């Protein structure tokens, strides 16, 4: 089942005298259950493409369909609501709220979805257990390692039961062991629960685990291959 489709997607920045074509006519489709890495040199358009798919940025031209909904036709408020219900995000910076515990951080998205307290707590604990942090539910971010904080971020992304996860350089700040643990967890979730993961990455370890590799250069798809 196709969950993402882009048609003739463009994003042009005009902040300099020479327009920058960050995304330059990309046609792409992603099926449910994929474990896909988007790779390419710095400035190739990887993060811009992820931001467009995630509704965090607006295209200059072209269309983006998520679950057959053209997100370009939605109002700002509708896009925020759509993201909340359909898309999970994992960023290079963990973006955890320092004053909240791991459980409270994971609950945060569900709170925005207006789920009841009992359901939120149970789901947050379940998700933290799924990423190997069942014993750290009451720890605040400052008491967690970088790898543990990123796992909390994955648990938070999963808690809202999204259609897919967009992960922008999720291993960039992690050591080898933490990266291995995180990738194993995401791979397992992908395999067991058919959760779709789309990575933007420079990390060869992520590329090695991906089943599909999309190479972008100068805002265009240079290569798209299965492995």
Full-model pTM: 0.90
Q: How far apart are CA 134 and CA 131, in angstroms?
A: 8
pLDDT of res. 161: 84
> Does CATH number 3.30.460.10 belong to domain 2-226?
no
**Ordered mean pLDDT values, 10 residues apiece, the chain (227 residues):** 95 84 95 96 91 93 94 92 91 90 94 90 92 94 93 90 90 85 88 91 92 96 94
Angle between helices 146-159 and 117-130 (to 10 degrees): 130
Q: Which of 116, 114, 203, 107 is nearest to 158 (CA)?
A: 107
Contacts of 144 (CB under 8 A, 6+ apart): 102, 136, 152
pLDDT of res. 33: 95
pLDDT of res. 193: 84
Please report where in the chains the tokens 């959760």 appear, as a residue: 195
pLDDT of res. 97: 94
pLDDT of res. 20: 86
């Amino acid at each position: 089942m196709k969950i993402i489709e882009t048609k003739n997607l463009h994003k042009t920045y005009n902040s300099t005298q020479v327009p920058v074509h960050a995304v330059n006519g990309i046609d792409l489709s992603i099926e449910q259950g994929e474990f896909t890495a988007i790779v390419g040199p710095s400035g190739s358009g990887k993060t811009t493409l992820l931001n467009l798919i995630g509704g965090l940025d607006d295209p200059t031209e072209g269309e983006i369909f998520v679950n057959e909904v053209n997100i370009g036709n939605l109002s700002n408020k509708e896009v925020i609501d759509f993201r909340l219900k359909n898309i999970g995000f994992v960023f290079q910076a963990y973006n955890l709220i320092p004053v909240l515990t791991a459980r409270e951080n994971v609950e945060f998205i569900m709170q925005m979805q207006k789920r009841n307290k009992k359901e939120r707590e149970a789901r947050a604990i379940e998700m933290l257990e799924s990423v190997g942090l069942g014993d750290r539910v009451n720890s605040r971010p400052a008491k967690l390692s970088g790898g543990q904080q990123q796992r909390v971020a994955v648990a938070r992304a999963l808690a809202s039961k999204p259609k897919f996860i967009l992960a922008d350089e999720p291993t960039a700040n992690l050591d080898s062991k933490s990266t291995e643990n995180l990738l194993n967890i995401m791979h397992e979730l992908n395999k067991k629960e058919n959760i779709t993961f789309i990575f933007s990455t420079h990390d060869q370890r992520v590329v090695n685990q991906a089943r599909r590799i999309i190479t972008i250069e100068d805002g265009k798809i240079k290569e798209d291959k299965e492995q």
